[in-house]
């Protein structure tokens, strides 16, 4: 039987090619079949068939039941506890024809961009009817400006950037959504090889440390780490905003003493023999956000079908990458000159989590980088506390309201479920960050509990 046959017909055998009552399949088709040119009818029939098969694993029982009570009575009875209408609505969600098929997506050549790159190279975007052009960009300020100006239809952004842009911190305000996470973890603190004997951050006073952007998880984690060790990040060290690709040359020349940044530049510093990995940022906050897949709110409103198609392509790519067994297969693609332009061994060490630390050790961290796409608003709440802590935003902050508006958890949950992916049922969860519990429902209390700058 086809899923288009009527599962409430007692003379139809589910799983058989015909009901056995007609001289030909054509005669059978002419009687009980729906209009196969009508997608709504097709959708409903498929749902009804799935439900009846679940309720009656033995098809003989289903047919006996229907002969006893009749089709309409059975359907009415089941409809009281099986939400056919809701199931139909969820299953439909037809992604209409994209309003705009030719898209430009900005990204930086870092491992966090893997879902965007693989989305393009593996055909996930093309399958959704999109022609995506990836535009490698040297720095985060340029990504922000090109997205606001409409030069990019979507972009990879650091986790705090959609919040900052929406609030007008560092730029004119422009509502920007974090549709999904590009990656979790995937960063490290790297120091020059000349500082191998200065592993204690209290010895870092007067260090020049590079960060990728003011509005970066790297800036906020480094600041918190320094304060925890009695170092004032605004007076005891110099924090220099620097494009990630420029950090290696500056480390090699002695212009900086170290940096905190996304991969692969930490591993590349080890590869070049100019630096060592002091720690992975997952040691500060395991499962921390790093980069997001960001889209302007105006684009979502004016191109809903395009956004839906793009979104699902990104989620499929993330799901593929989040399986550790698939990582080796993408090393060649990611390391290619048109993308990350890195030695294959560097990319492989980042993706697999088995890596040389530059201190003579080979370490293993399977979750060195993860590609779980759900955009937790609770992560955004912590980011907002740090933006307030360090003066990037002033006055009262509606933490939960902003976080849930900008980090599209509801949209992600819906899209992930449609693709058969597990999605959290809640928006908020607690985290252990630098050894302290963070409750996103108590952000001001958390801020008051933090140590005074320069003191532990």
Q: Tell me what percent of the residues of the chain surpass a pLDDT of 90.
A: 78
pLDDT of residue 196: 97
83-131 pLDDT tens trace? 555 444 444 454 589 999 999 999 999 999 999 999 999 999 999 999 9
Residue 442 pLDDT > 60? yes
By C-alpha distance, which of 111, 185, 192, 110 is closest to 358? Answer: 192
pLDDT category, 12, cuts 50, 70, 90? low
> Do the domain assignments include residue 364?
yes
DSSP codes of every residue in 111-146: GGGHHHHHHHHTTHHHHTT-EEEEEE-S-HHHHHHH
> Do the domain assignments include residue 15?
no
pLDDT category, 68, cuts 50, 70, 90? confident
User: Please, are residues 7 and 74 in contact by the beta-carbon 8 Å criterion?
Assistant: no
284-303 pLDDT tens trace? 999 999 999 999 999 999 99
> Do the domain assignments include residue 10?
no
Task: Count how many Cα atoms sit within 13 Å of the Cα of residue 120 in the half-sphere of its side chain.
Answer: 19
Q: Which domain holds residue 43?
A: 25-92
Query: Between residues 159 and 83, which one has the greater pLDDT?
Result: 159
> Do the domain assignments include residue 3?
no
Task: Count how many Cα atoms sit within 13 Å of the Cα of residue 394 in the half-sphere of its side chain.
Answer: 2
Same domain? 88 vs 102: no
Same domain? 165 vs 86: no
376-427 pLDDT tens trace? 999 999 999 999 999 999 999 999 999 999 999 999 999 999 999 999 999 9
Number of domains in the chain: 2
Prediction pTM value: 0.80
216-265 pLDDT tens trace? 999 999 999 999 999 999 999 999 999 999 999 999 999 999 999 999 99
pLDDT of residue 86: 44
318-372 pLDDT tens trace? 999 999 999 999 999 999 999 999 999 999 999 999 999 999 999 999 999 999 9
Last residue of a domain, one of 71, 92, 113: 92
pLDDT of residue 8: 64
Residue 35 pLDDT > 90? no
Same domain? 131 vs 41: no
Q: What is the DSSP letter of 437?
A: E
Same domain? 139 vs 120: yes
Question: In the chain, what is the straight-line distance between the N-terminal and C-terminal CA atoms, in Å?
Answer: 71
pLDDT of residue 61: 82
> Do the domain assignments include residue 1?
no
> Do the domain assignments include residue 133?
yes
> Do the domain assignments include residue 262?
yes
Summary mean pLDDT of the chain? 89
Angle between helices 377-389 and 217-228 (to 10 degrees): 60
pLDDT of residue 65: 83
pLDDT of residue 181: 98
User: Please, are residues 228 and 456 in contact by the beta-carbon 8 Å criterion?
Assistant: yes
Average pLDDT over residues 180-195: 98
pLDDT category, 452, cuts 50, 70, 90? confident
Query: Between residues 54 and 30, which one has the greater pLDDT?
Result: 54
pLDDT of residue 46: 64
Q: CATH code at 268? A: 3.40.190.10
Last residue of a domain, one of 49, 64, 92: 92
pLDDT of residue 43: 54
Whole-angstrom CA distances from 191 to 148, 342, 434 are 34, 20, 20
* Tokens 């002969």, residue located: 67
pLDDT of residue 77: 73
Query: Between residues 73 and 323, which one has the greater pLDDT?
Result: 323
Provide the pairing of β-strand 431-433 with 436-438: antiparallel
The dihedral over CA atoms of 28, 29, 30, 35, expressed in degrees to the nearest 10, equals 150
């Amino acid at each position: 039987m086809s899923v288009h046959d009527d599962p409430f017909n007692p003379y139809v055998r589910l799983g058989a090619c015909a009901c056995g009552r007609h001289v030909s399949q054509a005669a059978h088709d002419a009687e009980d079949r729906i209009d196969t040119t009508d997608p709504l009818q097709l959708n409903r029939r498929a749902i009804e068939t799935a439900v009846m098969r679940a309720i009656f694993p033995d098809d003989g029982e289903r047919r006996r039941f229907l002969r006893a009570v009749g089709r309409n009575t059975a359907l009415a009875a089941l409809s009281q506890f099986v939400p056919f209408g809701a199931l139909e609505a969820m299953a439909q969600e037809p992604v209409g024809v994209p309003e705009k098929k030719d898209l430009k997506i900005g990204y930086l050549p870092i491992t966090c961009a893997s879902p965007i790159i693989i989305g393009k190279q593996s055909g996930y975007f093309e399958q959704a009817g999109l022609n995506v052009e990836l535009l490698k960009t040297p720095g985060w300020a340029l990504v922000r400006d090109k997205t606001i100006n409409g030069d990019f239809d979507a972009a990879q952004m650091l986790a705090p950037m959609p919040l900052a842009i929406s609030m007008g911190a560092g730029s004119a305000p422009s509502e920007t959504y974090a549709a999904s996470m590009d990656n979790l973890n995937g960063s490290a603190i790297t120091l020059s090889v000349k500082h191998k004997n200065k592993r204690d951050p209290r010895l870092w006073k007067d260090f020049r440390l590079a960060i990728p952007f003011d509005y970066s998880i790297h800036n906020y984690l480094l600041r918190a780490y320094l304060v925890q060790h009695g170092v004032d990040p605004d007076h005891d060290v110099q924090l220099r905003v620097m494009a990630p690709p420029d950090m290696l040359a500056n480390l090699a020349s002695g212009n900086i003493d170290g940096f905190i940044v996304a991969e692969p530049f930490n591993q590349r510093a080890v590869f070049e023999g100019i630096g060592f990995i002091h720690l992975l940022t997952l040691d500060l906050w395991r499962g921390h956000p790093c980069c997001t897949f960001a889209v302007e709110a105006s684009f979502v409103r004016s191109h809903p079908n395009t956004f839906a198609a793009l979104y699902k392509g990104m989620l499929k790519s993330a799901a593929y990458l989040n399986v550790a067994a698939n990582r080796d297969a993408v090393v060649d693609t990611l390391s290619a000159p048109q993308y990350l332009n890195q030695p294959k061994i560097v990319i492989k060490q980042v993706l697999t989590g088995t890596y040389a630390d530059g201190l003579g050790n080979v370490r293993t961290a399977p979750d060195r980088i993860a590609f779980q796409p759900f955009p937790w608003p609770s992560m955004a709440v912590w980011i907002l506390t740090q933006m307030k802590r360090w003066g990037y935003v002033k006055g009262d902050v509606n933490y939960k309201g902003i976080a849930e508006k900008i980090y599209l958890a509801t949209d992600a949950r819906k899209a992930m479920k449609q693709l058969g992916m597990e999605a959290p049922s809640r928006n908020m969860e607690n985290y252990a960050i630098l050894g302290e519990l963070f409750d996103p429902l108590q952000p001001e209390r958390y801020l008051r509990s933090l140590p005074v700058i320069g003191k532990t």
